[in-house]
Structure 1
């Protein structure tokens, strides 16, 4: 007897990891604005990075800029300034992706993230395969895609930082296989002044079936001064690349952006005073997650050795062998 489409869809959903966080908490973490179903451009999900909040990251820069472009958006608030286990944090990305895609009337959404927020959606796309059909664009601004070799954890540190070290179990598992998926455009934006994600090529993606562009802001504007902390929030070059990716088919195109980012001192519509207050808030803030000397263990959906009996279902989530994709620097 042939399975019905509904039964097939249910069977596929059954192999995806269940979300541990309560649904009400996941929904409460989402703040949205605009008509996602009727806008000219796909709606955007904003994902903040480690040790900052949604407001500190987006409310004074990208939010007013997206409003000027007429692009609807949702921004999530990951608990404890996203300093806890990345496997908990990603659940907020999964829930918000599903919700925004539903609000968009079936249209694929775009995701824009800074630092951890630029890398974390890739974990979602890897282990929640159904979300690959919901996302059409992923823009990572100084993303920690391959972790960092910087001495970020000389002793005890919060789980999210330890998991973002190069060669951590989390980063190794994230990149074990194809880095990108068909049907999704990937733009990674890095800065030569990055003091956190080292080497700066760590953010670049090169394999898989997605359309990929890797850009360094100084290759467009040699005078761009911004570091890891401020590139996702202050750099007009990073914003120009992001806006280009959001308003055109395919990843960002440096030729279209040209020197536009150099010609404007601020992100269009930016609330400068709000930015000063957000920076002061971020400098004083800290997550409430205890520091640890060890990395959180991978969960069974990501490591068959943890849950041997779930091995068959987990194995079905793995992408095909890496396939080289065109990438530009």
Structure 2
């Protein structure tokens, strides 16, 4: 009998050890796109374990908010397992999918008006707080996921439920409707309003991104930085969608440009959310007491560092 018990325990040990292994953390946006195509609706690794209970070290669960045309599946293949490996309860939603949409796997999100998406976020955060027993969440957003939650924070009571907010490629001042060198030139060419009118037919949120839109004017009237929330913004000089990239600067926030101190980082709007440097910035922002030096390595636009011969 003793021999049988020893054998059973020994057989179970490898499985237990395997469960304790950290989740793989891929660094490259292409990996996320492939995964979304092959595993539609899938939660990113490490996310949406509704039995997770926050630790004393990390008492706030982290809610990941994707960008325009993204989803929980495409946006968070890197940061979700990274955060989970570091002891966080991680949750991610797909929002802004129009009713009855028939996009590939219905996984193209962020298309409805940001006010409507903010209500989806509110319901999701309420579910997270109820499941985890936490009093507040931390937000990590990318692109639209930095701008849409502002409505929730400002007008739907989200500020009382939020501690830290890390915004990657934010655009608090909006973006130009086209990659033109100046706002004045865009207006002179009549780019803003025609582009907004066309985009709004199929994408309710798209006109809201444009500098000077009613959505942005309302946000600025209320003040984009909400009291009681600790903001960190993460920008890249090579952002081709947030023009100018300095639209992401926020008074009273910790504003970081990934190229400062790391010229070989060529992150663009997509690859910035899958880089080691951004990952460490997020970890440092969520837990300043355990902050570590930022890594610096070559990162390519769109592709990231996955295609490079890095350890």
User: Normalising TM by the smaller chain, what interval?
Assistant: 0.5 to 0.7
Indicate the RMSD between aligned Cα atoms, in angstroms: 2.8
3-state SS in 1 of match to 2:286 = helix
- Give the aligned partner of residue 270 of structure 2: 229
Counterpart among 286, 295, 300 of residue 261 in structure 1: 295
**Cα distance 1:124–1:213, how it changes in 2: closer, same or farther (>3 A)?**
same
Counterpart among 32, 35, 55 of residue 48 in structure 2: 32
Q: What TM-score does the superposition give when structure 2 sets the normalisation length?
A: 0.67
Distance in 2, Cα, partners of 1:169 & 1:265: 36
CA contact (8 A) 1:190 1:215 kept: yes
Select the structure of larger CA radius of gyration.
2
Distance in 2, Cα, partners of 1:220 & 1:101: 38
Distance in 2, Cα, partners of 1:231 & 1:265: 8
Q: Cα offset for 1:201?
A: 1.2
Return structure 1 stretches of 4+ with deviation > 6 angstroms: none
- Mapped pair 1:193 → 2:241: no
Deviations 1:137-177 (A, max 9, x none): 11110012221024177641122111111101011111113
3-state SS in 2 of match to 1:189 = strand
Alignment of 1:164-313 (within 5 A): 164-206=209-251, 212-232=253-273, 234-248=274-288, 256-258=291-293, 260-262=294-296
3-state SS in 2 of match to 1:133 = helix
**Cα distance 1:116–1:242, how it changes in 2: closer, same or farther (>3 A)?**
same
Q: What TM-score does the superposition give when structure 1 sets the normalisation length?
A: 0.63
Distance in 2, Cα, partners of 1:79 & 1:163: 14
Q: What runs of 5+ residues in structure 1 fail to find an aligned partner?
A: 1-28, 274-329
- Mapped pair 1:64 → 2:109: no
3-state SS in 2 of match to 1:218 = coil
3-state SS in 1 of match to 2:259 = helix
Counterpart among 112, 116, 127 of residue 99 in structure 1: 127
Distance in 2, Cα, partners of 1:227 & 1:116: 15
- Give the aligned partner of residue 33 of structure 2: none
Distance in 1, Cα, partners of 2:298 & 2:136: 31
- Give the aligned partner of residue 138 of structure 1: 165
